[in-house]
Each structure stands twice: as C-alpha cells, then as structure tokens.
Amino acid sequence: MAQIIWLVIAAIMIVLEIISLGLTTIWFAGGALIAALAAWLGAHWVIQILVFAAVSLVLLIFTRPVAVKKMMKDIEKTNAEGLIGTVGLVTTTIDNRKSEGVVKLDGKEWWSRSADDSVIEAGNQVVVKEISGVKLIVELAKNTKND
C-alpha cells in the first residue's frame, strides 16, 4: 500500500511539473519513486520519508542547475537585453539632476541616464550598462571627446 501512495505522490508531482514547467516539482517525483522502491523493499515508513527527502534534496541541489542551464542555452536575449554593451551617440546632454538625456542607438532615440551621475555632453559616445524601465543607463565610452 505504501508503494502506491508514493507512486501517486510521484504522479502528482509530475503533473504539477507539466503544468508549471518550472523545474521545481520533478525532483520530488524522483524522490517519491525511490521512496516507493524503499517501501517495496520493506523499509519502515520513517526510512521511506527520509529517503524521499534525501533523494529529492540531492536531485534538487545537484541536477537542477545543470538542467536549467541546458534548457536556457537556446533562449535568445530579448531586444532590450540585446542593447546592453552596445554603443550609442548622445544627442541631448545627459544630466541626471535635471532628468535630461537622450541617446540615439540603432536609429532610435532613448531616454538615458548616466550610470555614475556624471554629466555626459551631446556628441559623446556611450556604452549601455543596463536598462531601467524605458531608460538606458549608460557610461562614457572609451576614446570619446571627454577622454
């Protein structure tokens, strides 16, 4: 009877994983399958629970990072993430205190802020460091006018 309970738990965890696709419950399904094996071999219920917990934890700690990395390798950056590291031209002086600044990047103009709160004059090239909402956070590129 204990084997059936563990198999039902494993099935529930698999269904939850299919629904969520978050690589969260599949590890507990593995733990439940090994606990079912322990129950089939006649292990006490305390041992079964300990086996379930230990196997689930080991699977979660050691295999999840590998699985996540493998699943994420083919995911491309979004358009916004793809801007990080690119170089643009300041068309309106960037001054964080005045909430001013525009950078032209790939033919589009973006509201921009300086990463280090420095004023960056129009005509300078900047490198995108991050994106905050709809604003580029930039810093002066090397080999520009202000160097």
pLDDT per residue as tens, the chain (147 positions): 999 999 999 999 999 988 887 777 888 999 999 999 999 999 999 999 999 999 999 998 888 788 777 766 655 555 667 788 899 999 999 999 998 999 998 888 999 999 998 999 999 999 999 888 888 999 998 865 554
Q: What sections of 44-147 are H helices per DSSP?
A: 45-72
Q: What is the pTM of this model?
A: 0.50
Element (H, E) at 124: none
- Phi, psi of 77, deg, nearest 5: -65, 150
- Name the burial class of residue 81, with classes exposed (0-12), middle (13-18) and buried (19+) by CB atoms within 10 angstroms of its CB: exposed
Structural domains of the chain sorted by starting position, each given as residue range(s) with its CATH number in brackets: 2-72 (no CATH), 81-140 (2.40.50.140)
Inter-residue contact 119 to 142 (CB < 8 Å): no
Which residue from 4, 80, 78, 81 is spatially nearest to 35, judged by alpha carbons? 4
- Helices 26-40 and 45-72 pack at an angle, to 10 degrees, of 150
- Half-sphere exposure (Cβ direction) of 46: Cα atoms closer than 13 Å: 0
